[in-house]
Chains A and B, each alone.
Chain A
Amino acid sequence: MKQKNLKESIGEHVNRQALSEAKLDRLMDLQNNVEEINPPYRVLQYRLVAAFSTVIIVLLTTLYFNLGPDKSLDERIGNEVALNHIKLKPLEIQSANLDVIREYFTELDFVPIESSLFKPSAKTLLGGRYCSIQGVTAAQLRFKDNQSGQIQSLYQTTYSADVFTSLPKLEEGQQPITVYSGGLEVDIWVEKGLLFALTREVQ
């Protein structure tokens, strides 16, 4: 019996093994079709990641608002209003006439009014849009100062003692409370049964 070196013999035996052309073609096709194979995996992966991320975000948001730093009501209103103002979202109704704007806000359970603390005489009313303050539907009226060109927002919503407690009421002789947020001053007060919040650039 012919004998060979173990290494050589094993090497020759293994190297004699070869895939048939049919199997090779199947493996080549597998690689060519990778783009067709992968999408379902990817889509499934992305959906799982997206769903998981959404759950985490909702959870963290809930925890933040329920267990997070216990900000005072005026701080929360100030932050919310300042953030909303800074975004300068497109106006839903553009008019310099308050009556026209009042007619637009049909979904509110109050009528937007002028405040004794905000004299629009030196300002131009640009328009308004719906928004919300602490989950209560509100109106945002946007003004432009005729002299400085500064854009201001006056927010109004129904004053609810259940939601908005401990806020200064003009009728009781109290002064607006001022909150600083996002580089803005936000004055907050209650007047004629409405909650007002006015943004102003810090002087």
Chain B
Amino acid sequence: MLIKSSDELPRRTLIKRFPVPSNAQVPKEHRIQPGRSWPIPEGAKRLKRLQIYRYAPESGEPPRIDTFAIDRDTCGPMLLDALIKIKDEIDPTLTFRRSCREGVCGSCAMNIDGTNWLACIRGLDELDEPATIYPLNNLGVVRDLVGDQRHAFAQYAAIQPWLQAEAPEDGKEHRQTPEQRQALDGYYECILCFCCTSGCPSHWWNGDRFLGPAVLLQAWRFLADSRDQATGERLDELEDPFRLYRCHTILNCTRTCPKGLNPGKAIAEIKRKMIARQS
């Protein structure tokens, strides 16, 4: 019941989905249909079944859920290994992003058994049977598990995620004490996988204007930096009923971060700084 770190799986869940109609506000041509069941590998002793969201724009068909089965004795230990195996051996058209395969690049973020995580650091034996794999939530689907992240990166660019400071007097470098450097710990490690923003209900309803946890954590990373000199301008840009204050401290973000960071706390720090400068 008590979750201590974000990599813990839910031990018991009363309901696996919210009791909402699955096609609420979904246009007819985009309603998810049952898909095909791919052949089960022959002679497999340890089967793992994966239900994967599929969408091919050129087919003119609505998205569907395909069921794949893989032999765990011939597959690597992680979900990403299984996806690569499916692409290699069963269906070469299965499309997903991946790069580092060790939880550093953030490319293979997806919705795995209902929560967002990186496929490369989620073990196959941690998954439901059958496992359900969807693309990151609330993104336009380009193909299969690849979501359109242009809006997310445009929001990232909007907070000007770079150090803004006059050149140091000695013309060499900005100096920081170890304590000042420590203020960035837990914030600079973000890999921009957007697991948190995609899992944020407030961003689902108001994502056009609310910046979302990933971008606000980045905003705090520069507000907390002793070398940055644009604090006032940064806060001016964030002081908005939507950009910052659509965060209602739901904290799905902190629960889902694959790097164990705390976007919810970063946003609370911004809100406190906003109040502090008024008094």
Do these two chains interact?
no
Instruction: Spell out B's residues near A (CB within 8 Å).
Output: none
Interfacial residues, chain A to chain B (CB-CB below 8 A): none
